[in-house]
Structure 1
Amino acid sequence: MVLAMKFLPALAGVAGMLLLAGCASTAGSPPAESAKMAVVSNVDCKTFGTKAGMMTARGSAAADPLEIANLLGRPEQDAGGDAEAEADPTVTAAPALSHLPLFSTSEGASRLPAGWQPWTVNRNKLPTQYSLTEVDQRLVLHAQADSSASGLYVPLAQRDAGTLRWMWKTRDIIRSADNGMGQREDAPLRIFVAFEGDRSTLPLRDQLMYEMARITTGREMPYATLMYIWGGRRPEGSVVNNPHTDRVRMIVVDSGTRHTNEWRCHERDLRADYRQAFGADPGKVVAVGIMTDTDNTKSRAESWYGDIALD
């Protein structure tokens, strides 16, 4: 019992990491590398702009600050480490929303977007700094990482796996990163989608991991997490197993430096991508989040996230 209590903080950190994204370094044997390839998804940003206008029109009601404030029961938080630690979703459950609040409809720059909750990968890691800012005449989310790892997420009332649309931009890739290697698993841009499912069908090893997460954090892990990343080494369309758990699969939707410093627009069929990555039909979507992380490579990254919408 004494030994278990000694390592409880470390277990909590591991479980907290696995709870949403499964990105930080942990011990364990990596799963077999996936040879699957997903459809390359980048779309013309001019065409995307028309759809984005429709997204904004539909999303403005869902992102109503009064509705969100009533659900949250507290004022907006400033970006930074203290707010992030207090709002760690592995400790306190956040209310589920019906839609993703859009960054472009937030009120003013410099503060975290309404409805998006900060979360920490590990309390011993430095947090990535996020703030709303105006770029190219639109309000977007600015991410700055310096040997750091943390993110923002929106817990959702269970949604069908539909179409996910977003736009993003990065100043540069993380040149020493490799998403298939635990000690170098960083990315300048990530969007992750968490799914519900029947945990009783999982192998015993995974069920024990889920139980550890529940005991140490008081929260249930998602059944599976699908993550879209901007990679540096692997080609676009690569499906990469997370090096620590096969309940997280990554799809490289942008890669290399060819399109750095320009907006990239993506439209993904979540059902098709989930089938490609996990070989089964997806359950309900229970959360969507973002993360820019450089903790494993001890490097820096600067990136921007435009609106994200789930149809």
Structure 2
Amino acid sequence: MKTWASAAFCLYTACASLTGANAQTQPTDTGGLLQSWADSADGTPPSPWRVVGLPGGKVPLLAPDITTLDGQKVLRLRSDKSYGALSHAVPAGSEGRFLQWQWRLDQPLAQADLRSKTGDDAALKVCALFDLPLEKIPFVERNLLRLARRVSAEALPGATLCYVWDNQLPAGTTLNNAYTARVRLRVLNGNSDALGRWVSHKRDLQADFLAAFGNETDTVPPLLAIVTGADADNTGGTSLGFVNRLQLMKQ
């Protein structure tokens, strides 16, 4: 089960090494600013995508892989009492604003409840990490973030916006992460949506960021990374979902 520190770290750690070689790699996918999973030759996500998990190795790592489904190479996310995310750093100065993708949930997490720490798991999530300045963050959370940065030695972002598919809450629900308000959740597909079928989304990250964090700032900070993943470490459940055509677009 997550503590506050490990939960914050696992949600933020996808931002590590943003200034390294991966952040400078230019995707070959001409349709957007993220590397296409269609470029995978061996079932592993192509660079600069990278897998991240909880620190310390105490929770099994969910290993996202590329598989063929409906004639296309897609990302498969299978959780089994595990945690894992796939992260793609966004180059500095990127003008990406619109995030679009398709996802499909085949097996939901029966015990997930995003309103509680014990149920804080998601079978499918797509997140955008933003470099919100410390001075914009409320005092207590600012100091907690400073502490997390010292412990992790990472430049952890000040704001994370996550879109989730949740089988308990209705679509349109918005709420803070159960562990930290540095992460805001928006349910795009909920308990009335059919399983086993593809659903398409296109989101205006700037508009959604201001809707989620507008109580703290009236400007949109730089985008640091795009992350997708799943976790079942709190509920001890299993889930299966797929993500396809995840693209960060300028318009």
Same fold (TM over 0.5): yes
Please identify the structure whose Cα radius of gyration is greater: 1
Question: Which residue is equivalent to 1:310?
Answer: 248
- Asked if the contact 1:15/1:213 (under 8 Å) is kept, the reply is yes
Once residues 177 and 272 of structure 1 are traced to their aligned partners in structure 2, the CA distance between those partners, rounded to angstroms, is 28
Shift of 1:186: 0.9
Partner of 1:201 in structure 2? 136
Query: In the aligned structure 2, how far is the partner of 1:266 from the partner of 1:14?
Result: 27
Q: Partner residue of 1:292?
A: 230
**Aligned letter for 1:132?**
I
Which residue pairs with 1:121 in the alignment?
54
| Structure 2 partner of 1:281 | 219
Unaligned runs of 5+ in 2: 27-32
Normalization by structure 2: what TM-score?
0.85
Deviation of the 1:121 alpha carbon: 2.3
Residues 93 and 19 of structure 1: CA distance in aligned 2, closer, same or farther (over 3 Å): farther
The CA deviation string for residues 235-276 of structure 1, in whole angstroms up to 9 with x for no partner, is 111111111111110110011263210111101111111121
Deviation of residue 109 (structure 1)? 4.2
Question: Which structure is higher in strand share?
Answer: 2
Greater fraction of residues in helix: 1
Query: Does the 8 Å contact 2:127/2:227 carry over to 1?
Result: yes
Structure 1 CA distance, aligned partners of 2:236 and 2:21? 30
Amino acid of the residue matched to residue 245 of structure 2? D
Q: Which residue of structure 1 lines up, in the alignment, with residue 103 of structure 2?
A: 168
Q: Once superposed, which parts of structure 1, at least 4 consecutive aligned residues long, lie more than 3 Å away?
A: 10-15
CA offsets 1:116-163 (integer angstroms, 9 cap, x no match): 111112321101121111111111111111000011101111334611
Shift of 1:202: 1.8
Q: Secondary structure at the match of 2:185?
A: strand
Provide the TM-score with structure 1 as the length reference: 0.70
Identity, % of aligned positions: 26
SS across alignment from 2:197: coil
1:247 aligns with 2:178: no
* Conserved? CA contact 1:142–1:303, under 8 Å: yes
Where do 1:249-264 residues align within 5 Å?
A: 249-256=184-191, 258-264=193-199
The aligned residue for residue 228 of structure 1 is 163
Structure 2 Cα separation of the partners of residues 11 and 237 of structure 1: 26
Tell me, in whole angstroms, the C-alpha distance in 1 between the residues paired with 2:16 and 2:58: 16
8 Å contact from structure 2 (residues 122, 231) kept in 1: yes
1:244 partner letter: Y
Count of residues in correspondence between the two structures: 235
The reply to whether residue 157 of structure 1 matches residue 64 of structure 2 is no
Matched, 1:146 2:139: no
